């Protein structure tokens, strides 16, 4: 396998070695008529959409031919942007299961096609094209979510994205920040929001283009705070961002950006089923806290050798920390005021991705090659021990030199190369094969303690167990896509791609009474595939209907077990449960009723959309035959969102409904257990309404989340912010005043 890696690296060197000759050859040719000039670029366009469109076959430095993808255009949404309301923002992306854990969307929880939404860890999550999760392979959880008010767009690419973006089954999620106004030297935007439960949000930005059009800049500050719907659920968050782009010449552009986010949240804890049914708003935990300090930096250059050959190289880094403090026992056990558990994670990552996009002629047809390399080095320091017995946000270990539970340093080295090529057979048919070569080296060193006490609470044994592990693997996987463009309103596409997902090493030694982890877990592997049809007919109907299949081997899941007597406490055991097959149908359709009726665009616009997904996810080849044929946890068998938008001049209104069918939280398909950590997520439906009126530089927005005041929940947590049932917010109202100058 290593020889294959070396061959792949040699191929990369060959590509870069001949780029000068490629440049010379193409600079002498007339390329104006080549199809690759239809390539889309990220610009601040005034074109109005309904909030959803698709990435072009070549978009920026990515190839998306024959891939399932969506682009959410933020400026055209009628949604509650101030609270990062994910079910509204992602309303037109089918197949997404969304967790709701806080009023302001501080931590996005999105999973697709039956994969867990837990901190969006099944997506490769990016901002402006670079990783923002704690560790892209070893701990791919996202504690930071960009403010939606600061975004230009959100790009969603499904499982076939693994060739370009690395090992994952869920796909790629990229948050693209706004840039400074290209036509003004300075533009200031301010948005102030007031809402239910003491919510206050303030978004303020400045941007523009100076130095004779060479320097584009943008910066914002975002503040949010609230007391929360439930007691003990208040939070404060501040986010800062700065961006600079300098066009040194017609060929060379330098770009840099920096993000800092700091938030502190009190966590109301989870509930048992009985507690939720009695009073979903109650809190049985008053001493649980969570704090995040996130820092991101990127520097990139774009170089245009010619119209036919372009290079992008981006170096990015992360230096961040998260701390959780509280009582990890299930909600049916009273908090008697003992020392709290403190878990601290410190993350330091550095990476580079370099991509070369090259257009060329073959057999008289225009072809496109994208090739790139990635190097990534990440470290995670994970510490767990006793915190104070108080109730405040005191994130200090009682024994910092030798914590009571564990202290580990995890390192992750990843080097990879990929290539994808669009072979255009004719004006309608194209084939896009690709390869990716991966080298992964994960290591851990540290200790965990086993402390035994008698019935009086006296320590009778205290043992520290030190260990060191190193896991090196390398492999090559591939994929292929096929596209047939029958006409301007019908494209039939299909793809199949091998996938791989590394074990999340960071939680292997976390002591938690609600979950235990198999230390001998293996990486997951398999493949994903799509076949579908999509298009836009005369700007009247926009649709995308597809069938998907995710095939997992050695799928990591959770089964329900119980402690030995006398406790018999239920807990989740995380291990390689079995193989699984996730298959289903995803449908999106939107109809412009007014254009259909009038036959042309008018001042009035009435849009209806529907977004439906059927998922069948089952376990097969299980070692534990009791789960053979069971439903995969967090795989809702049906999800539906539908809504209507009316626009007239500066006024817009959107009414949207969401429905998610009942699904399970563990592989044993438990219905209900005493602690509330395990059991079903009952079916739920939510309705939201958003209004907006804009006149010149002023805008006024109002929204009501959960219009019918449903009592429901989307998750059962095994740790923070629970454990137990995490109640979703009741009906809430918001109003936003915006001004641009």
Reported as a single tens digit per residue, the pLDDT across 412-432 is 999 999 999 999 999 999 999
Measured CA to CA, the distance from residue 248 to residue 634 in angstroms comes to 49
The answer on pLDDT for 205 being more than 70 is yes
Nearest Cα neighbor of 723 from 418, 427, 421, 326 is 326
List the domain range (segments joined by +) for residue 302: 2-740
Q: Tokens 């048992």 appear where?
A: 272
- The whole-angstrom separation of Cα 140 and Cα 134 is 6
Question: Cβ atoms within 10 A of the Cβ of 16, count?
Answer: 13
Number of domains, the chain: 1
Question: Which region among 35-44, 347-356, 394-403, 526-535 has the lowest average model confidence (pLDDT)?
Answer: 35-44
- The pLDDT score that the predictor gives to residue 510 is 54
Residue 401: partners with Cβ closer than 8 Å, 6 or more residues away = none
Q: Encode pLDDT of 313-329 as tens digits.
A: 999 999 999 999 999 88
The confidence band for 26, taking pLDDT boundaries of 50, 70 and 90, is very low
- By the 8 A CB rule, do 369 and 360 touch? yes
Write down the pLDDT at residue 195: 97
Cβ neighbourhood burial of 262 (10 Å; 0-12, 13-18, 19+)? middle
In contact, 576 and 546? CB cutoff 8 Å: no
Q: How confident is the model at residue 101 (pLDDT cuts 50, 70, 90)?
A: confident
**First vs last C-alpha separation in the chain:** 59
pLDDT beyond 70 at 559: yes
Q: How confident is the model at residue 21 (pLDDT cuts 50, 70, 90)?
A: very low
Residues 209-232: what's their mean pLDDT?
A: 97
Residue 318's SS3 state is strand
Tokens coding 103: 């009023």
- ∠ CA 368-370-376, nearest 5°, is 175
Question: CB burial class (10 A; 0-12, 13-18, 19+) of residue 626?
Answer: exposed
pLDDT of residue 453: 72
- Interval 271-312: pLDDT, tens: 999 999 999 999 999 999 999 999 999 999 999 999 999 999
Which pLDDT band, with edges at 50, 70 and 90, does 515 fall under?
A: low
| Range in 36-45, 298-307, 558-567 the model is least confident about | 36-45
Helix axes 19-27, 2-17, angle to 10 degrees: 40
On the question of pLDDT at 149 being above 70, the answer is yes
- CB-based contact 677:514 (threshold 8 Å): yes
CATH number at residue 388: 2.40.170.20
DSSP-H helix ranges across 175-280: 273-278
**CA torsion sign, 397 to 402 to 403 to 409?**
positive
Which residues, listed in sequence order, are joined to residue 557 by a DSSP beta bridge? 575
Handedness of CA 74, 77, 82, 84 (dihedral sign): negative
CA distance 704 to 88: 11
What percentage of residues in the chain have a pLDDT greater than 70? Answer: 90
φ, ψ of residue 18 in degrees (nearest 5): -100, 5
The arithmetic mean of pLDDT across residues 60-79, rounded, is 95
**For residues 411 and 70, what is the distance between their CA atoms, to the nearest angstrom?**
34
Overall pTM > 0.85 = yes
Whole-angstrom CA distances from 121 to 111, 126, 142, 324, 698 are 8, 12, 7, 18, 38
- How far is the C-alpha of 543 from the C-alpha of 601, rounded, in Å? 19
569: pLDDT confidence band, cut at 50, 70 and 90? low
Q: How many CB atoms lie within 10 A of CB 327?
A: 22
Res. 680 pLDDT band, cuts 50 70 90: very high
Residue 679 backbone class (left: φ over 0; alpha: ψ -120 to 50; beta: rest)? left
pLDDT-derived band at 461 (thresholds 50, 70, 90) equals confident
**Residue found under tokens 């076939």:** 160
Say if residue 568's pLDDT is above 60: no
Mean pLDDT of 179-207: 97
Confidence of residue 512 (pLDDT cuts 50, 70, 90): low
Tell me the percentage of the chain whose pLDDT exceeds 90: 72
């Amino acid at each position: 396998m290593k020889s294959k890696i070396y061959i792949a690296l040699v191929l990369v060197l060959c590509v870069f070695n001949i780029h000068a000759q490629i440049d010379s050859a193409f600079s002498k040719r007339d390329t104006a008529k080549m199809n690759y000039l239809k390539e889309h670029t990220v610009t601040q366009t005034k074109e109005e959409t309904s909030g959803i469109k698709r990435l072009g076959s070549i978009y920026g430095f990515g190839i998306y031919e024959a891939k399932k993808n969506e682009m959410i255009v933020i400026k055209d949404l009628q949604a509650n942007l101030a609270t990062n309301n994910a079910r509204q923002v992602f309303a037109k992306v089918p197949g997404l299961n969304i967790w709701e854990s806080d009023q302001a969307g501080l931590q996005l929880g999105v999973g697709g096609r039956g994969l867990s939404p837990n901190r969006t860890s099944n997506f490769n999550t990016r901002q402006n094209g670079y990783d923002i999760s704690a560790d892209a392979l070893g701990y791919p959880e996202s504690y930071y979510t960009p403010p939606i008010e600061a975004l230009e767009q959100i790009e969603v690419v499904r499982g076939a994205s693994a060739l370009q973006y690395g090992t994952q089954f869920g796909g790629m999620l990229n948050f693209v920040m706004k840039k400074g106004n290209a036509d003004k030297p300075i533009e200031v935007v301010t948005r102030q929001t007031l809402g239910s439960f003491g919510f206050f949000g303030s978004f303020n930005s400045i941007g523009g283009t100076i130095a004779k059009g060479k320097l584009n800049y943008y910066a914002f500050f975002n503040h949010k705070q609230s007391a929360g719907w439930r007691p003990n659920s208040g939070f404060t968050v501040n986010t800062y961002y700065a961006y600079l782009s300098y066009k040194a010449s017609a060929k060379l552009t330098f770009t840099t950006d920096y993000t800092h986010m700091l938030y502190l949240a009190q966590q109301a804890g989870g509930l048992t089923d009985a507690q939720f049914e009695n009073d979903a708003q109650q809190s049985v935990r008053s001493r649980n806290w969570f704090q995040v300090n996130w820092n991101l930096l990127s520097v990139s250059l774009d170089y245009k050798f010619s119209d036919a050959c372009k290079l992008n190289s981006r170096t990015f880094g992360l230096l961040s920390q998260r701390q959780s403090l509280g009582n990890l026992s299930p909600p049916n056990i009273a908090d008697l005021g003992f020392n709290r558990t403190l878990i601290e994670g410190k993350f330091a990552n550095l990476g580079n991705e370099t991509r070369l996009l090259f257009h060329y002629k073959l057999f008289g047809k225009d072809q496109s090659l994208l090739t790139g390399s990635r190097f990534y080095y990440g470290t995670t320091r994970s510490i767990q021990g006793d915190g104070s017995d108080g109730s405040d946000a005191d994130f200090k270990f009682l024994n910092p030199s030798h914590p009571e539970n564990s202290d580990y340093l995890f390192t992750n080295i990843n080097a990879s190369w990929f290539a994808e090529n669009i072979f255009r057979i004719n004006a309608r048919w194209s084939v896009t094969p690709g390869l990716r070569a991966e080298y992964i080296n994960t290591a851990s060193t540290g200790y965990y303690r086993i402390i035994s006490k008698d019935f009086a609470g006296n320590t009778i044994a205290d043992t520290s167990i030190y260990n060191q592990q190193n896991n090196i693997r390398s492999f090559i996987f591939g994929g292929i896509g096929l596209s047939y463009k029958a006409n301007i309103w019908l494209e039939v596409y299909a793809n199949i791609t091998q996938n791989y997902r590394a074990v999340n090493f960071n939680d292997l030694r976390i002591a938690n009474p609600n979950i235990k982890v198999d230390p001998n877990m293996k990486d997951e592997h398999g493949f994903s595939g799509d076949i579908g049809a999509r298009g836009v007919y005369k700007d009247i109907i926009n649709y995308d209907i597809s069938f998907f299949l995710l095939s997992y081997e050695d799928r990591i899941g959770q089964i329900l077990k119980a402690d030995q007597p006398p406790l018999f406490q239920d807990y989740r055991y995380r291990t390689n449960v079995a193989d699984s097959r996730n298959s289903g149908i995803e449908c999106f359709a939107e109809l412009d009723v007014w254009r259909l009726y009038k036959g042309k665009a008018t001042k009035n616009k009435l849009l209806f959309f529907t977004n439906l997904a059927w998922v069948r996810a089952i376990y097969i080849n299980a070692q534990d035959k009791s789960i053979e044929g069971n439903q995969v946890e967090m795989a809702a068998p049906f999800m539906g969102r539908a809504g209507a938008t009316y626009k007239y001049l500066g006024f817009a209104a959107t009414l949207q409904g969401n429905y998610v069918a009942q699904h399970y939280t563990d592989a044993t398909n438990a219905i209900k257990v005493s602690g509330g950590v395990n059991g079903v997520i009952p079916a739920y439906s939510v309705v939201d309404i958003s209004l907006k009126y804009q006149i010149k530089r002023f805008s006024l927005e109002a929204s009501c989340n959960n219009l019918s005041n449903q009592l429901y929940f989307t998750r059962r947590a095994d740790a923070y912010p629970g454990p137990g049932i995490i109640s979703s917010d009741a009906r809430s109202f918001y109003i936003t005043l915006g001004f641009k100058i």
